[in-house]
Structure 1
């Protein structure tokens, strides 16, 4: 888990973002974001919402994490990381856990995610089993949001999106690259593909090698915000990418990840530090309008 004083993070945000954002804002303005209601939360308004992921391998540990997150006001959404469970492919047992989590969250949204090994997760179920498990969980209707990896392809994706929307479950469509930051055109095409498949939240996460890679990620986020009214969740991972996790309100990313304990990806900040930084940036942005 990456930790840094809020003052340092604010300095990073100002030094890395101000000149570029000013240059970008002259030719175009942000597209109006389509707000999204999930659980008791409206996404897309103001500072980015904070997601916290579970890391437990069994029901008891996951429910303990859930209860802590439910009682932490800075946490907006709780992500059940199914791939970390010992029983990840036991659809009924996962369903029962999700229903228990939903009760404990008392209105805070539950995001269901099976992160595959190829995208940084812990298990490799294969696309057919992956889709089958999601269909069963969607039919049960216990989640407020689901994360679907775009590698499964257009036809399976459209089926899952349709099933989710029939149950009024929001879809986060995702793609992760833990090795590098692809060219800008490729990142934009992936976000546009996600939008075309009906995703409610467009997500990409990349690994920067240089500060310029981080700048490119925030640049394509800004460009996509001008093209789409869908919610965005973009991030550069690792220590170098921490700035992208806190500057979403500037560039157009509407959600971010924090940690209450074990980080679920490299570069995550502790929830308390993250929330304070997001709040400070939000207030600074409001006074400059």
Structure 2
């Protein structure tokens, strides 16, 4: 039974694929599948042939076939939001996302809120026509903005009528982690769409473990290789989430 983001009371665990070549991606996928994640994200900005649309589509189909019931997120992270340099413009990246929606059975595509409004609306239309859901994302690898700013980003996702709101920020101190958790709890009680939030790096690692308590519907773990600072190995994260779930259910 596949698990969709926001359908479960417990946070789902997502593991990234970050291979540069097809054989690397499929090798990582085999390693990751053995660890039984709930969701898999293919970070296509790492893929050396991202400008070869046919090869991207073919590999996406191979990943989906191997993953079976496990939902996939197709992500092209821009360099401005912590991604790899790629030979595609923002508009071309949006078009590749649209092509994924039209030609594969991948459940989610990621769309950064920093994209132009008309590009976001275009992708939303294509995704809706093809039954694909959109993770609307904002990343800040330098700092943690104010609680008000983070709340606005989460609200933007709902205003665009996208399916999931995601925010990842970098803390400079422990207080920044509290800011992220606090705005997550407040947004969970106000917004109708599922949220994914995380604080990155060494201070933020705790948010990957307890974020679900505050309303984050998904957390990222290392399956084969990390895609962001502070990710915890999937085996460790599963143990922590099980302990938290048991503790919170006990009387």
Same fold (TM over 0.5): yes
Does 2:104 align with 1:148? no
The one of 94, 115, 119 aligned to 2:56: 94
Q: Which has the higher contact order (CA 8 A, sep 6+)?
A: 1
Partner of 2:235: 272
Q: Secondary structure at the match of 2:127?
A: helix
Does 2:79 align with 1:117? yes
Partner of 1:10: none
Q: Secondary structure at the match of 1:195?
A: helix
Shift of 1:163: 1.2
Contact 2:17–2:224 under 8 Å retained in 1: no
Shift in alpha-carbon separation, 1:225–1:196, aligned structure 2, 3 A: same
Shift of 1:41: 1.4
Contact 2:35–2:223 under 8 Å retained in 1: no
Q: What is the total number of aligned residue pairs between the two structures?
A: 249
Name structure 1 gaps, 5 residues minimum. Answer: 1-38
Partner of 1:224: 187
Partner of 1:252: 215
C-alpha separation between the residues in 1 aligned to 2:91 and 2:201?
31
The one of 58, 66, 81 aligned to 2:43: 81
Partner of 2:203: 240
Shift of 1:55: 1.5
TM-score, length basis structure 2: 0.95
Shift of 1:42: 3.8
Q: Secondary structure at the match of 1:264?
A: coil
TM-score, length basis structure 1: 0.83
- Following superposition, which runs of at least 4 residues in structure 1 exceed 3 angstroms of deviation? none
Alignment of 1:151-166 (within 5 A): 151-166=114-129
Greater Rg by CA: 1
C-alpha separation between the residues in 2 aligned to 1:219 and 1:116?
27
C-alpha separation between the residues in 1 aligned to 2:114 and 2:211?
25
